Structure 1
Amino acid sequence: MTSEETAALDDPVGASLRGLHARLGRRIGRAASYVPDVATFSSVSADPAPEDWADLARLLGPGAFADMFNCPAPPPSDWEPVFVLEGRQLVWPRSGTPGTAPVPAGTDLVELGADDVPEMLALVARTEPGPFRPRTRELGTYLGIRDRGVLVAMAGERLRPPGWTEISAVCTAPEARGRGLAGRLVNELATRVLARGERPFLHAAESNTGAIALYERLGFESRGHVTFRGFRTP
Protein backbone atom coordinates (compact mmCIF):
# COMPACT_ATOMS: atom_id res chain seq x y z
CA MET A 1 0.00 0.00 0.00
CA THR A 2 1.63 3.24 -1.14
CA SER A 3 1.78 6.48 0.81
CA GLU A 4 -0.15 8.16 -2.01
CA GLU A 5 -3.05 5.73 -1.49
CA THR A 6 -3.32 6.51 2.20
CA ALA A 7 -2.26 10.19 2.28
CA ALA A 8 -5.83 11.36 2.94
CA LEU A 9 -5.86 9.28 6.14
CA ASP A 10 -3.17 11.44 7.73
CA ASP A 11 -5.78 14.18 8.22
CA PRO A 12 -9.13 12.48 7.70
CA VAL A 13 -11.09 15.27 9.39
CA GLY A 14 -9.66 18.03 7.22
CA ALA A 15 -9.93 15.92 4.07
CA SER A 16 -13.58 15.14 4.83
CA LEU A 17 -14.46 18.76 5.57
CA ARG A 18 -12.84 19.90 2.32
CA GLY A 19 -14.85 17.34 0.37
CA LEU A 20 -17.99 15.30 0.97
CA HIS A 21 -18.68 16.74 4.43
CA ALA A 22 -18.23 20.43 3.57
CA ARG A 23 -21.99 20.90 3.94
CA LEU A 24 -21.78 19.66 7.54
CA GLY A 25 -18.89 21.91 8.53
CA ARG A 26 -17.78 25.50 8.97
CA ARG A 27 -14.53 27.17 8.10
CA ILE A 28 -12.42 30.26 8.69
CA GLY A 29 -9.22 30.39 6.66
CA ARG A 30 -7.45 27.04 7.01
CA ALA A 31 -9.32 26.13 10.21
CA ALA A 32 -12.39 23.91 9.92
CA SER A 33 -14.80 22.11 12.21
CA TYR A 34 -18.00 20.13 12.01
CA VAL A 35 -21.14 21.85 13.24
CA PRO A 36 -21.55 20.91 16.93
CA ASP A 37 -24.62 18.68 16.60
CA VAL A 38 -22.82 16.52 14.00
CA ALA A 39 -19.35 16.03 15.51
CA THR A 40 -16.76 17.70 17.74
CA PHE A 41 -13.85 17.19 15.34
CA SER A 42 -11.77 20.17 14.18
CA SER A 43 -8.81 20.56 11.84
CA VAL A 44 -6.07 23.01 11.02
CA SER A 45 -3.42 22.71 8.32
CA ALA A 46 -0.69 20.08 8.60
CA ASP A 47 1.79 22.85 9.43
CA PRO A 48 -0.38 25.39 11.28
CA ALA A 49 0.70 28.99 11.73
CA PRO A 50 -0.39 31.06 14.78
CA GLU A 51 -3.14 32.63 12.68
CA ASP A 52 -4.59 29.17 11.94
CA TRP A 53 -5.03 28.50 15.65
CA ALA A 54 -6.48 31.99 16.07
CA ASP A 55 -8.96 31.26 13.27
CA LEU A 56 -9.99 27.98 14.91
CA ALA A 57 -10.48 29.71 18.26
CA ARG A 58 -12.66 32.31 16.55
CA LEU A 59 -14.59 29.61 14.71
CA LEU A 60 -15.33 27.61 17.87
CA GLY A 61 -15.74 30.47 20.32
CA PRO A 62 -14.22 31.07 23.78
CA GLY A 63 -13.94 28.13 26.15
CA ALA A 64 -15.07 25.67 23.47
CA PHE A 65 -13.98 22.07 23.06
CA ALA A 66 -11.64 21.31 20.15
CA ASP A 67 -11.26 17.62 19.33
CA MET A 68 -8.13 17.59 17.17
CA PHE A 69 -8.36 13.89 16.23
CA ASN A 70 -4.83 13.20 14.92
CA CYS A 71 -3.20 16.63 14.70
CA PRO A 72 0.50 16.33 15.65
CA ALA A 73 1.05 20.10 16.03
CA PRO A 74 0.44 21.50 19.52
CA PRO A 75 -1.87 24.51 19.91
CA PRO A 76 -0.75 27.72 21.65
CA SER A 77 0.09 27.47 25.33
CA ASP A 78 -3.12 29.21 26.42
CA TRP A 79 -5.24 26.34 25.05
CA GLU A 80 -6.22 24.05 27.95
CA PRO A 81 -5.47 20.33 27.47
CA VAL A 82 -8.55 18.14 28.00
CA PHE A 83 -7.50 14.60 27.04
CA VAL A 84 -4.92 12.49 25.22
CA LEU A 85 -5.85 9.06 23.85
CA GLU A 86 -3.48 6.71 22.04
CA GLY A 87 -5.10 4.84 19.18
CA ARG A 88 -4.69 2.62 16.15
CA GLN A 89 -5.74 3.24 12.55
CA LEU A 90 -6.71 0.14 10.56
CA VAL A 91 -7.45 -0.08 6.84
CA TRP A 92 -8.96 -2.59 4.46
CA PRO A 93 -6.30 -4.08 2.14
CA ARG A 94 -6.42 -3.72 -1.63
CA SER A 95 -7.83 -7.22 -2.04
CA GLY A 96 -10.18 -9.43 -0.11
CA THR A 97 -13.92 -9.63 0.40
CA PRO A 98 -15.64 -9.14 3.76
CA GLY A 99 -17.25 -12.22 5.20
CA THR A 100 -20.99 -12.68 5.39
CA ALA A 101 -23.14 -14.33 8.01
CA PRO A 102 -26.86 -14.29 8.77
CA VAL A 103 -28.01 -12.31 11.78
CA PRO A 104 -29.06 -14.58 14.66
CA ALA A 105 -32.63 -15.83 14.80
CA GLY A 106 -35.03 -13.30 16.26
CA THR A 107 -32.97 -10.32 15.11
CA ASP A 108 -33.19 -7.98 12.14
CA LEU A 109 -30.48 -5.91 10.43
CA VAL A 110 -31.95 -2.50 9.62
CA GLU A 111 -30.87 0.88 8.29
CA LEU A 112 -31.25 3.53 10.98
CA GLY A 113 -32.86 6.89 10.29
CA ALA A 114 -33.88 10.10 12.03
CA ASP A 115 -36.65 8.40 14.01
CA ASP A 116 -34.07 6.02 15.53
CA VAL A 117 -31.79 8.73 16.94
CA PRO A 118 -33.14 8.56 20.54
CA GLU A 119 -32.44 4.81 20.65
CA MET A 120 -29.03 5.31 19.02
CA LEU A 121 -28.07 7.91 21.62
CA ALA A 122 -29.29 5.64 24.42
CA LEU A 123 -27.19 2.73 23.11
CA VAL A 124 -24.14 4.98 22.82
CA ALA A 125 -24.65 6.16 26.41
CA ARG A 126 -24.64 2.55 27.58
CA THR A 127 -21.66 1.36 25.55
CA GLU A 128 -19.43 4.46 25.03
CA PRO A 129 -18.01 3.64 21.57
CA GLY A 130 -16.76 7.21 21.10
CA PRO A 131 -18.15 10.63 20.24
CA PHE A 132 -21.72 10.54 18.93
CA ARG A 133 -24.01 13.55 18.60
CA PRO A 134 -27.70 14.03 17.73
CA ARG A 135 -26.87 14.58 14.02
CA THR A 136 -23.89 12.22 13.68
CA ARG A 137 -26.00 9.83 11.58
CA GLU A 138 -26.00 12.49 8.81
CA LEU A 139 -22.33 11.66 8.14
CA GLY A 140 -23.29 8.45 6.34
CA THR A 141 -25.21 5.19 6.56
CA TYR A 142 -25.88 3.73 10.00
CA LEU A 143 -27.00 0.15 10.45
CA GLY A 144 -28.46 -1.50 13.50
CA ILE A 145 -29.53 -4.91 14.72
CA ARG A 146 -32.83 -5.17 16.55
CA ASP A 147 -33.61 -8.06 18.84
CA ARG A 148 -37.38 -8.40 19.14
CA GLY A 149 -37.65 -4.77 18.16
CA VAL A 150 -35.03 -3.43 20.59
CA LEU A 151 -31.85 -1.84 19.18
CA VAL A 152 -28.97 -3.89 20.62
CA ALA A 153 -26.08 -3.15 18.20
CA MET A 154 -25.10 -0.56 15.63
CA ALA A 155 -22.28 0.75 13.45
CA GLY A 156 -22.05 3.43 10.80
CA GLU A 157 -20.05 5.63 8.47
CA ARG A 158 -18.26 8.68 9.86
CA LEU A 159 -15.29 10.40 8.19
CA ARG A 160 -15.19 10.43 4.36
CA PRO A 161 -11.76 11.47 3.05
CA PRO A 162 -11.41 10.99 -0.73
CA GLY A 163 -11.49 7.31 -1.63
CA TRP A 164 -12.17 6.15 1.92
CA THR A 165 -15.01 5.73 4.43
CA GLU A 166 -14.48 5.35 8.17
CA ILE A 167 -16.57 2.76 10.01
CA SER A 168 -17.37 4.01 13.49
CA ALA A 169 -19.78 3.88 16.46
CA VAL A 170 -19.42 0.09 16.57
CA CYS A 171 -21.23 -0.95 19.73
CA THR A 172 -23.28 -3.77 21.23
CA ALA A 173 -25.46 -3.73 24.32
CA PRO A 174 -23.90 -5.80 27.15
CA GLU A 175 -26.73 -8.33 27.15
CA ALA A 176 -26.29 -9.00 23.39
CA ARG A 177 -22.52 -9.50 23.28
CA GLY A 178 -20.85 -12.73 22.21
CA ARG A 179 -23.23 -13.27 19.29
CA GLY A 180 -21.09 -11.80 16.50
CA LEU A 181 -23.34 -8.77 15.98
CA ALA A 182 -20.55 -6.18 15.76
CA GLY A 183 -18.64 -8.23 13.19
CA ARG A 184 -21.81 -8.72 11.15
CA LEU A 185 -22.41 -4.95 11.03
CA VAL A 186 -18.81 -4.08 10.20
CA ASN A 187 -18.74 -6.64 7.38
CA GLU A 188 -22.00 -5.31 5.93
CA LEU A 189 -20.75 -1.71 5.99
CA ALA A 190 -17.38 -2.71 4.51
CA THR A 191 -19.16 -4.52 1.69
CA ARG A 192 -21.22 -1.44 0.90
CA VAL A 193 -18.18 0.85 0.98
CA LEU A 194 -16.21 -1.41 -1.36
CA ALA A 195 -19.20 -1.68 -3.72
CA ARG A 196 -19.10 2.07 -4.38
CA GLY A 197 -15.38 1.98 -5.16
CA GLU A 198 -14.03 3.22 -1.83
CA ARG A 199 -12.11 1.46 0.93
CA PRO A 200 -13.12 1.20 4.57
CA PHE A 201 -10.94 2.18 7.50
CA LEU A 202 -11.50 2.58 11.21
CA HIS A 203 -9.93 3.64 14.49
CA ALA A 204 -9.72 2.03 17.91
CA ALA A 205 -8.20 3.01 21.22
CA GLU A 206 -4.86 1.25 21.63
CA SER A 207 -6.09 -0.05 24.98
CA ASN A 208 -9.14 -1.68 23.34
CA THR A 209 -7.31 -4.85 22.39
CA GLY A 210 -10.55 -6.76 21.93
CA ALA A 211 -11.80 -4.37 19.24
CA ILE A 212 -8.44 -4.36 17.44
CA ALA A 213 -8.37 -8.18 17.46
CA LEU A 214 -11.91 -8.27 16.06
CA TYR A 215 -11.11 -5.88 13.22
CA GLU A 216 -7.98 -7.83 12.33
CA ARG A 217 -9.97 -11.09 12.27
CA LEU A 218 -12.43 -9.43 9.89
CA GLY A 219 -9.56 -8.60 7.51
CA PHE A 220 -8.44 -5.08 8.44
CA GLU A 221 -4.72 -4.31 8.69
CA SER A 222 -3.03 -1.90 11.06
CA ARG A 223 -1.76 1.17 9.24
CA GLY A 224 -0.18 2.85 12.23
CA HIS A 225 -0.42 4.63 15.54
CA VAL A 226 -2.53 7.77 16.03
CA THR A 227 -2.90 10.14 18.96
CA PHE A 228 -6.22 11.80 19.68
CA ARG A 229 -6.05 15.08 21.62
CA GLY A 230 -8.69 17.41 22.96
CA PHE A 231 -8.26 21.05 24.03
CA ARG A 232 -10.35 23.93 25.24
CA THR A 233 -9.98 27.27 23.48
CA PRO A 234 -8.92 30.34 25.50
Structure 2
Amino acid sequence: MTRFFMGTLWLVLTLALGIGASSASVFAEEKPYSGLVTIQKVNKAEGAQQIIEVKGKKGTLQVTLSNETVIDLHALISLKDVEPGSTIHVLAKKQAEQHGSGGARYPPMLVQIHAIVTGSLKPPFVPEKLQEQGLTWVSGTLKQVENGRERDVDGYRLGTSLGTEVLKVERVKSSKLKKRMKVFISGYLDESDRKNKTLDAVELISMAQRWKKYPSTHDFSKRTPKPRKKKKDDSKEDDDLPF
Protein backbone atom coordinates (compact mmCIF):
# COMPACT_ATOMS: atom_id res chain seq x y z
CA MET A 1 0.00 0.00 0.00
CA THR A 2 2.85 2.35 0.93
CA ARG A 3 4.64 1.72 -2.37
CA PHE A 4 1.40 2.28 -4.27
CA PHE A 5 0.81 5.59 -2.46
CA MET A 6 4.38 6.79 -3.07
CA GLY A 7 4.18 5.85 -6.75
CA THR A 8 0.90 7.70 -7.16
CA LEU A 9 2.30 10.79 -5.43
CA TRP A 10 5.33 10.76 -7.72
CA LEU A 11 3.07 10.62 -10.78
CA VAL A 12 0.95 13.55 -9.55
CA LEU A 13 4.01 15.69 -8.82
CA THR A 14 5.57 14.85 -12.17
CA LEU A 15 2.41 15.92 -14.00
CA ALA A 16 2.18 19.12 -11.96
CA LEU A 17 5.77 20.07 -12.75
CA GLY A 18 5.20 19.29 -16.41
CA ILE A 19 2.13 21.52 -16.53
CA GLY A 20 4.06 24.33 -14.85
CA ALA A 21 6.88 24.08 -17.38
CA SER A 22 4.38 24.12 -20.23
CA SER A 23 2.67 27.25 -18.88
CA ALA A 24 6.01 29.02 -18.61
CA SER A 25 6.66 28.58 -22.31
CA VAL A 26 3.20 29.56 -23.59
CA PHE A 27 4.53 32.73 -25.23
CA ALA A 28 8.07 31.46 -25.92
CA GLU A 29 7.62 31.01 -29.69
CA GLU A 30 5.69 34.20 -30.46
CA LYS A 31 6.88 37.66 -31.43
CA PRO A 32 5.13 41.02 -31.96
CA TYR A 33 4.13 41.62 -35.57
CA SER A 34 2.32 44.20 -37.68
CA GLY A 35 1.81 44.64 -41.40
CA LEU A 36 -0.54 44.88 -44.36
CA VAL A 37 -2.41 41.74 -45.41
CA THR A 38 -5.34 40.63 -47.56
CA ILE A 39 -8.17 38.58 -46.08
CA GLN A 40 -8.39 35.22 -47.86
CA LYS A 41 -11.07 33.50 -45.82
CA VAL A 42 -13.47 34.38 -42.99
CA ASN A 43 -14.54 31.41 -40.90
CA LYS A 44 -17.70 31.29 -38.83
CA ALA A 45 -17.26 32.53 -35.27
CA GLU A 46 -17.19 29.90 -32.56
CA GLY A 47 -18.02 31.27 -29.15
CA ALA A 48 -15.82 34.24 -28.24
CA GLN A 49 -13.28 33.53 -30.98
CA GLN A 50 -13.14 33.64 -34.76
CA ILE A 51 -10.47 32.48 -37.19
CA ILE A 52 -9.70 34.33 -40.41
CA GLU A 53 -7.06 33.48 -42.99
CA VAL A 54 -4.90 36.29 -44.36
CA LYS A 55 -1.96 36.56 -46.73
CA GLY A 56 0.91 39.03 -46.63
CA LYS A 57 4.71 39.20 -46.54
CA LYS A 58 4.78 36.40 -43.96
CA GLY A 59 2.75 34.16 -46.25
CA THR A 60 -0.56 32.68 -45.14
CA LEU A 61 -1.51 33.23 -41.50
CA GLN A 62 -4.31 31.77 -39.42
CA VAL A 63 -5.48 34.75 -37.37
CA THR A 64 -7.42 34.44 -34.13
CA LEU A 65 -9.85 37.25 -33.33
CA SER A 66 -11.22 37.54 -29.79
CA ASN A 67 -13.52 39.90 -27.92
CA GLU A 68 -10.42 41.91 -27.03
CA THR A 69 -9.34 42.43 -30.65
CA VAL A 70 -9.91 46.03 -31.78
CA ILE A 71 -11.47 46.16 -35.26
CA ASP A 72 -11.80 49.52 -37.04
CA LEU A 73 -13.48 50.11 -40.39
CA HIS A 74 -12.27 53.13 -42.38
CA ALA A 75 -14.42 54.83 -45.00
CA LEU A 76 -14.39 58.13 -46.90
CA ILE A 77 -17.32 60.54 -46.59
CA SER A 78 -17.92 64.24 -47.24
CA LEU A 79 -17.81 66.84 -44.48
CA LYS A 80 -21.51 67.58 -45.08
CA ASP A 81 -22.30 63.95 -44.16
CA VAL A 82 -20.60 64.08 -40.75
CA GLU A 83 -23.34 64.20 -38.12
CA PRO A 84 -23.39 67.30 -35.86
CA GLY A 85 -22.21 66.26 -32.41
CA SER A 86 -19.65 63.83 -33.81
CA THR A 87 -16.09 63.85 -32.53
CA ILE A 88 -13.83 65.31 -35.18
CA HIS A 89 -10.07 65.80 -35.52
CA VAL A 90 -8.66 68.42 -37.88
CA LEU A 91 -5.02 68.82 -38.87
CA ALA A 92 -4.77 72.47 -39.87
CA LYS A 93 -3.36 75.90 -39.07
CA LYS A 94 -5.12 78.08 -36.51
CA GLN A 95 -6.02 81.59 -37.59
CA ALA A 96 -7.06 84.15 -34.99
CA GLU A 97 -10.12 86.36 -35.31
CA GLN A 98 -9.73 88.85 -38.17
CA HIS A 99 -11.08 92.39 -38.40
CA GLY A 100 -11.98 93.83 -41.77
CA SER A 101 -12.96 97.24 -43.04
CA GLY A 102 -16.17 98.78 -41.81
CA GLY A 103 -16.00 96.90 -38.52
CA ALA A 104 -16.40 93.48 -40.11
CA ARG A 105 -15.30 90.59 -37.91
CA TYR A 106 -14.22 87.16 -39.05
CA PRO A 107 -14.25 84.40 -36.42
CA PRO A 108 -11.22 82.23 -35.60
CA MET A 109 -10.70 79.71 -38.37
CA LEU A 110 -8.82 76.55 -39.23
CA VAL A 111 -7.07 77.14 -42.53
CA GLN A 112 -4.69 75.14 -44.71
CA ILE A 113 -6.65 72.05 -43.67
CA HIS A 114 -4.53 68.99 -44.38
CA ALA A 115 -6.74 66.19 -43.02
CA ILE A 116 -10.05 65.64 -41.23
CA VAL A 117 -10.92 62.47 -39.31
CA THR A 118 -14.13 61.62 -37.49
CA GLY A 119 -14.52 58.80 -34.99
CA SER A 120 -12.05 56.96 -32.78
CA LEU A 121 -8.59 58.45 -33.26
CA LYS A 122 -5.67 59.36 -31.05
CA PRO A 123 -4.03 62.06 -33.19
CA PRO A 124 -0.41 61.12 -33.85
CA PHE A 125 2.64 63.36 -33.70
CA VAL A 126 2.53 65.99 -36.44
CA PRO A 127 5.24 65.36 -39.08
CA GLU A 128 8.07 67.89 -38.95
CA LYS A 129 7.34 69.21 -42.44
CA LEU A 130 3.75 70.05 -41.43
CA GLN A 131 4.88 71.52 -38.12
CA GLU A 132 7.05 73.96 -40.03
CA GLN A 133 3.90 75.10 -41.84
CA GLY A 134 2.22 75.78 -38.49
CA LEU A 135 -0.20 72.85 -38.66
CA THR A 136 -1.53 71.24 -35.49
CA TRP A 137 -4.32 68.86 -34.45
CA VAL A 138 -7.57 70.40 -33.21
CA SER A 139 -10.15 68.00 -31.77
CA GLY A 140 -13.68 68.58 -30.56
CA THR A 141 -17.38 68.26 -31.31
CA LEU A 142 -18.61 69.24 -34.76
CA LYS A 143 -21.24 71.99 -34.85
CA GLN A 144 -23.30 73.53 -37.63
CA VAL A 145 -23.27 77.34 -37.87
CA GLU A 146 -24.57 79.99 -40.25
CA ASN A 147 -27.82 78.06 -40.80
CA GLY A 148 -25.93 74.89 -41.67
CA ARG A 149 -23.74 76.50 -44.31
CA GLU A 150 -20.53 76.20 -42.25
CA ARG A 151 -18.98 73.92 -39.65
CA ASP A 152 -17.29 74.71 -36.33
CA VAL A 153 -15.03 72.69 -34.02
CA ASP A 154 -13.65 73.86 -30.68
CA GLY A 155 -14.58 77.47 -31.48
CA TYR A 156 -12.94 77.49 -34.91
CA ARG A 157 -14.72 77.70 -38.25
CA LEU A 158 -13.55 75.15 -40.78
CA GLY A 159 -12.09 77.03 -43.72
CA THR A 160 -13.07 74.45 -46.31
CA SER A 161 -16.07 73.38 -48.38
CA LEU A 162 -18.71 70.90 -47.23
CA GLY A 163 -17.55 68.57 -49.99
CA THR A 164 -14.14 68.10 -48.36
CA GLU A 165 -13.13 64.46 -47.91
CA VAL A 166 -13.22 63.09 -44.35
CA LEU A 167 -11.88 59.78 -43.05
CA LYS A 168 -14.54 58.06 -40.94
CA VAL A 169 -13.25 55.60 -38.33
CA GLU A 170 -15.88 53.19 -37.02
CA ARG A 171 -15.38 50.50 -34.36
CA VAL A 172 -17.07 47.34 -35.66
CA LYS A 173 -17.59 43.63 -34.98
CA SER A 174 -15.78 40.90 -36.90
CA SER A 175 -18.97 40.28 -38.90
CA LYS A 176 -18.01 43.33 -41.00
CA LEU A 177 -14.88 41.61 -42.30
CA LYS A 178 -15.07 40.33 -45.86
CA LYS A 179 -12.90 38.32 -48.20
CA ARG A 180 -10.37 40.35 -50.27
CA MET A 181 -10.34 43.24 -47.79
CA LYS A 182 -6.96 44.98 -47.49
CA VAL A 183 -6.24 45.38 -43.80
CA PHE A 184 -3.53 46.43 -41.39
CA ILE A 185 -3.09 43.87 -38.66
CA SER A 186 -1.04 43.68 -35.48
CA GLY A 187 -0.65 40.99 -32.87
CA TYR A 188 1.55 38.11 -31.79
CA LEU A 189 2.97 35.87 -34.51
CA ASP A 190 3.95 32.23 -33.99
CA GLU A 191 6.05 30.76 -36.83
CA SER A 192 7.19 27.64 -34.96
CA ASP A 193 5.14 25.55 -37.39
CA ARG A 194 6.14 26.77 -40.85
CA LYS A 195 3.12 25.11 -42.43
CA ASN A 196 0.66 26.58 -39.96
CA LYS A 197 1.69 30.09 -38.95
CA THR A 198 -0.69 31.69 -36.47
CA LEU A 199 -1.31 35.19 -35.19
CA ASP A 200 -3.18 36.28 -32.07
CA ALA A 201 -4.67 39.60 -33.26
CA VAL A 202 -4.61 42.74 -31.13
CA GLU A 203 -5.79 45.23 -33.75
CA LEU A 204 -7.21 45.06 -37.26
CA ILE A 205 -7.92 48.06 -39.49
CA SER A 206 -9.84 47.83 -42.75
CA MET A 207 -8.23 50.70 -44.62
CA ALA A 208 -9.79 53.20 -47.03
CA GLN A 209 -7.78 52.62 -50.21
CA ARG A 210 -8.29 56.14 -51.60
CA TRP A 211 -7.23 57.96 -48.42
CA LYS A 212 -3.87 59.59 -49.17
CA LYS A 213 -3.26 61.14 -45.75
CA TYR A 214 -2.41 58.00 -43.75
CA PRO A 215 1.19 59.16 -43.15
CA SER A 216 -0.30 62.13 -41.27
CA THR A 217 -3.28 60.49 -39.54
CA HIS A 218 -1.93 57.04 -38.56
CA ASP A 219 1.62 56.17 -37.55
CA PHE A 220 1.54 52.46 -38.38
CA SER A 221 5.21 52.06 -37.49
CA LYS A 222 4.29 52.52 -33.82
CA ARG A 223 1.31 50.15 -33.75
CA THR A 224 3.31 46.96 -33.27
CA PRO A 225 2.38 45.59 -29.82
CA LYS A 226 4.91 45.23 -27.04
CA PRO A 227 6.19 41.72 -26.26
CA ARG A 228 3.98 39.80 -23.87
CA LYS A 229 5.53 38.66 -20.64
CA LYS A 230 6.02 34.95 -20.32
CA LYS A 231 3.86 33.30 -17.73
CA LYS A 232 5.74 32.64 -14.54
CA ASP A 233 6.51 29.07 -13.56
CA ASP A 234 5.22 28.84 -10.02
CA SER A 235 6.22 25.19 -9.62
CA LYS A 236 9.30 24.60 -7.51
CA GLU A 237 11.29 21.46 -6.95
CA ASP A 238 11.01 20.26 -3.40
CA ASP A 239 14.20 18.71 -2.07
CA ASP A 240 12.31 17.30 0.91
CA LEU A 241 10.04 14.92 -0.95
CA PRO A 242 8.79 12.18 1.41
CA PHE A 243 10.65 9.33 -0.33
Which TM-score bucket, shorter chain as reference?
Answer: under 0.3
Could you say which structure has the higher helix fraction? 1
**TM-score w.r.t. structure 1 length?**
0.23
Could you say which structure has the higher strand fraction? 2
Of structures 1 and 2, the larger Rg is shown by 2
